[in-house]
Amino acid sequence: MKRTRVLVLLHPEQVPPDSIKGYTEQEILAFKTGYDIVNTLRKARHEVRVLGVQHELRPIRNEIDSFNPDIVFNLLEEFHGEPAYDQNVASYLELIRIPFTGCNPRGLMLSRGKDLSKKLLHYHRIPVPAFAVFPMHKKIRRPPRLKFPLIVKSLSEDASLGIAQKSIVDTDEKLAERVAFVHEKIGTAAIAEQYIDGRELYVGVLGNERMRVLPIWELYFGDAASKIATAKVKFDVKYQEERGILQGPAENLPPEIYKRIQNLTRRICRTLELDGYARIDFRLAPDGTPYFLEANPNPEIARYEVFAEAAAYDGMKYSEMLRRIIALGIQRARAKAR
């Protein structure tokens, strides 16, 4: 790939330092994605600038005007503190006709709403846990069709925010308590869905029209108190080490189930109009049914996280993965310009 000018957009708190020397492993979590991407691209002799933005679009336009990048590497997961506003930044980049990496605005919108994505996929006969949404400032009433146990989450936040052992509930009293917790502490509507007691599987996808489905990855819970992806399970390095929590290739999956999950992943991406790169999360029930949990456009792509490790397992070096992500963004922009 020719020398490319890349403008990396991310949250100001995630702007990486020039060196990780002196930082603990836990501290590195905050900026590891930006650090891995920026350093890998610079080692490949690309010209890279980093911009931390959160409240104003003007700095983005100013940097584009002065730097004239070939592409924006979009790592913004929220804007104005709202995860739902990431689509607005992508829309802005699309309006000013600058190529950008990752998912298009429509795919971001369809996949970010946990209820909307599940409704769409259920319509297309993709297995989805039964669920109900509990808006803020409304009485909490469980629909009779919704059977216990349930898991309660924020409707719009991601990164397991607010998910803990108490998120799994088995009575109406506990349901009301946890929904109230999400309303008061997270500040969003809540979604309660059927808890699937099974294996946690992640499937990465790379591509626009043609999709490359990466090897199926699994979260192994070790001695974790509950078999759900809580914030501690995902992000607390010490807790992971103490409990033996690991991530790696999914083993002992029957070939027919492996193939079904790959096919479901392609169907999900097409239904939700995802492109660039994405990760689809499943829960595999004991009867072999893979239930869709959520779609993650623009997922974590640090070198030693699920997406990049699955790509490496599939024979794709980290630098090649980033090159492919950039190429997909440029290809999409060219296709729209025709």
| Banded model confidence at residue 1, pLDDT cuts 50, 70, 90 | low
Q: For the chain, give the percent of residues with pLDDT over 70.
A: 99
Instruction: Spell out the CATH class of 130-194.
Output: alpha beta
Facing residues of 52 across strands? 10
Q: Could you read off the pLDDT of 22-61 as tens digits, one per residue?
A: 888 888 888 999 999 999 999 999 999 999 999 999 999 9
Q: For residue 288, what are its two tokens?
A: 């072999």
Helix%, strand%, coil% for the chain, nearest 5? 40, 20, 40
Instruction: Spell out the CATH class of 5-102.
Output: alpha beta
pLDDT, residue 225, reads 67
Q: Which CATH number is 197-337 given?
A: 3.30.470.20
- Tell me the C-alpha to C-alpha distance, in Å, between residue 263 and each of 24, 114, 268: 40, 21, 9
Q: Could you read off the pLDDT of 62-116 as tens digits, one per residue?
A: 999 999 999 999 999 989 888 888 999 999 999 999 999 999 999 999 998 889 9
Q: Which of 200, 220, 221 is nearest to 293 (CA)?
A: 200
Helices (H) and strands (E) in the chain, counts: 12, 13
Task: State if pTM tops 0.85.
Answer: yes
Q: Is the backbone of residue 140 left (phi > 0), alpha (psi -120 to 50) or beta?
A: beta
**Residue 226: is its pLDDT beyond 60?**
yes
**Would you list the domain boundaries of the chain?**
5-102, 130-194, 197-337
